[in-house]
Every structure is written in structure tokens, then in C-alpha cells.
A = this chain, B = another copy of it.
Amino acid sequence: MSLTIYGVLRSRASRPVWLAHELGLDFQHVPVIQSYRLADADAAAADAPLNTASPDFLAVNPNGMVPSLKDGDFVLHESLAICLYLARKAGGPLAPRDPQEEALMTQWALWAATEVEPKSLSILRGVDVEANAAALRRPFAVLEKQLQAGGGFVLGGRFTTADIMVAEIVRYAAANKALFADFPAISSWIATAQARPAHQRMAADRAKEPA
């Protein structure tokens, strides 16, 4: 079955692409850009680059958001759902080993998407930075303890898809060095995760994309 991941790497597509490299998957990458990064007129123009407002992409995802995945005829949206699907399908150490790990991976994905991402993304965008950094201290304290108790991993005592999903959301806040300075386990965990060859490969490709 042919596998396609839609979305520039300067989007949440970085998550499934990093994971796909970890899993050694053969996939096509279609760098759909977010329409809000183009001028409004450009996004709708026939000669605009493929973007989240392009009819061709809206036919794939009517939400007009990246990433999306096509696995043969099966279409899936939401970056964290895509990561969990790819991991389960591939199996191995990055995938859940049993129903409890399956549930915990889903728990941490939802936790990161709702408790961390709105705030970390605001920090990335320079919006209300101090208030958002202050509000992240409670969820970061939970993650810090979890990493300390779990041998430096989110769950399962090993590097899994959960680490990728959570690290990719936590890193949005990285510019706030004062915040990270107070959470040494998080700082060490994210540095170790980003040093992995699969992340380095994704990050090198991302650096080649227009800013």
C-alpha cells in the first residue's frame, strides 16, 4: 500500500514524519503549506502553491488542516491519531505493547494536545509569553515527575511514539529558557529525543523549507 503524508514540516506534520523515519517507513511526502502563511489572494489563486485552502487538498481533508495521511484508500487526520495509527501498524518497541500502554499513549497524546499545546504554541508565536510560561509550570511539573519516575521516558521504560508526540508539543515553548531551566528532566529528555537520527533527518529537511 502506498503511504502519503501531507503537510510541510513547519507544521504538525513534523510528528508523523519523524515517526515514519524512526519506523523506516517508505512514504511520499506532499508539502502542503498552511494557507494562513500565504497572502489571502495567493492561497486561492490557481497558481498558488498547494495549501490547506486548495480544493485539491480540501478534497483530502475538509478541515483544511495538516497533516493528513493516506494509506492506500484510507484517509486519516489529526497528527497524533496518525502517529498512533502508524505505530500500531508497524509494531515494535515504539508501539504500544498491550491495551494498557495503548490507553496511556492515547492519554498522553490528549494531555499534550489540551494541557500543553495551546500554551506552548502561544509562546512560539510570541503571544502572552509570560502568562503562558507561568501556566505551563503545572503540566510541566507533572511531566517532570513522570520522566523522573519512568527512567527518562513518558511511558513503558523505553523510547516510544508517546515521547515523539509529547516532545513535539513541548518544544514549542523552548524559546522560554527560564521555564526549561526549572525542569531538568524535561530538558534532558527533549535533547536526547531530538538527537536521534530520525529526528535529525526530519529537522534537516525542515530547515530547507522556506521560513
A-side residues, CB < 8 A to B, are 62-64, 74, 76-78, 80-82, 84-85, 88-89, 99-100, 102-104, 106-107, 109-111, 113-115, 117-118, 138-139, 141-142, 145
Contacts and interface: CB of A to CB of B under 8 A. Distances in A.
B99 A89 contact: yes
A191 B40 CA distance: 38
Contact of A76 (B74, B104, B118): B104
Contacts of A107: 76-78, 81
A72 to B, nearest CB: 10
A81 B100 contact: no
A109 B110 contact: yes
A106 B62 CA distance: 17
Most interface-central of A77, A81, A115, A117 (chain B CB within 10 A): A81
A63 B99 contact: no
A168 to B, nearest CB: 14
A118 to B, nearest CB: 7
Nearest to A86: B103
